[in-house]
Amino acid sequence: MISLNVNGKAMQVDADPDMPLLWALRDHLNLTGTKYGCGIAQCGACTVHIDGQPIRSCMRPVSTVLAGQKVVTIEGLAPNASHPLQKAWVALDVPQCGFCQSGMLMTAAALLKKKPSPTDGDIDDAMTNICRCGTYNRVRAAIHLAAKSDKA
């Protein structure tokens, strides 16, 4: 058994130690908001936080998440979609297909934690997630909107 702290709750996962964290979250803990995209840590659909840092969970073995480390998935970002980013995403109709959006939101949340007033350059540097629908301009606008509303 592997012990994890996920979204503020202690959880046990009976999984192969080499299983990617993504599959432990999705298949063992039923946290299906984190998506599988490429499987090689390039697209960012699988992004979650470990101790506040965005990581690509498709390549991270579940056994490498140390005791005491806090994993946050899209389900744990904010209750009732109340995070400023989630509100901005809705207000600006950011998603088209929506598949990449949980990873985008998790990457953006880590960015705003690190840089509460990001520049366009900061956003471009941080947001390495791939959106096949090409909503990058709306993603940037929503991050700026969330940054402003988070200060209000």
Kindly state the tokens that stand for 119: 């520049």
Q: Residue 90 is which amino acid? A: V
SS (H, E, C) 90-128: HHCCCCCCCCCHHHHHHHHHHHHHHCCCCCHHHHHHHCC
**End-to-end CA distance of the chain, in Å?**
44
Please list the helix, strand and coil fractions of the chain in percent, rounded to the nearest 5, in that order.
40, 15, 45
Confidence of residue 149 (pLDDT cuts 50, 70, 90): confident
pLDDT of 46-86, one tens digit each? Answer: 999 999 999 999 999 999 999 899 999 999 999 788 999 99
Length of the chain: 152
- Please state whether beta strands 53-56 and 70-72 pair in parallel, antiparallel, or not at all (unpaired): unpaired
Global pTM reads 0.94
95-111 pLDDT, tens digit per residue, is: 988 889 999 999 999 99
